Amino acid sequence: MHDELSNNDFSPKAGPTDIAYDQASFKKIKIGAIAKVGFKVIIWKRVVLDFYEGIGLAYRKISYTNIVNPIPFELQGTNEQWWPESYKNEGAYLLFQLSFGVRVGYIIGKI
């Protein structure tokens, strides 16, 4: 994914402070795999519910280039977010992923 961002900030992996900018190019690469298990339940003639869950790993790399007017700054304790946006963390990361859900299906053909 590639995008042009403006009037924002990011956290460099090598630095203790954030960088504010007027404009920057943002690039994100993410590759992952999840192993899933599940079961199906026929709820009415040919209508099926498919319950599944899974666990896996992902590799994510975020980079910022072509930064216009970079200004380093430190976040104050009151301005920090409890759950910061992941796209603001520059660098490569190995991530743990969970997956779970329910799908509704219809059986075509003989049962």
18-33 confidence digits (pLDDT tens): 888 888 898 999 999 9
Local structure of 88: helix, strand or coil: helix
DSSP state of 45: T
Helix (H) or strand (E) holding 23: strand 18-44
Please give the model's pTM, rounded to 2 decimal places: 0.66
Give the model's pLDDT for residue 78.
Answer: 47
Whole-angstrom distance, CA of residue 29 vs CA of residue 40:
34
Give the model's pLDDT for residue 29.
Answer: 93
Write the CB contacts of 43 (distance below 8 Å, at least 6 apart in sequence). Answer: 49
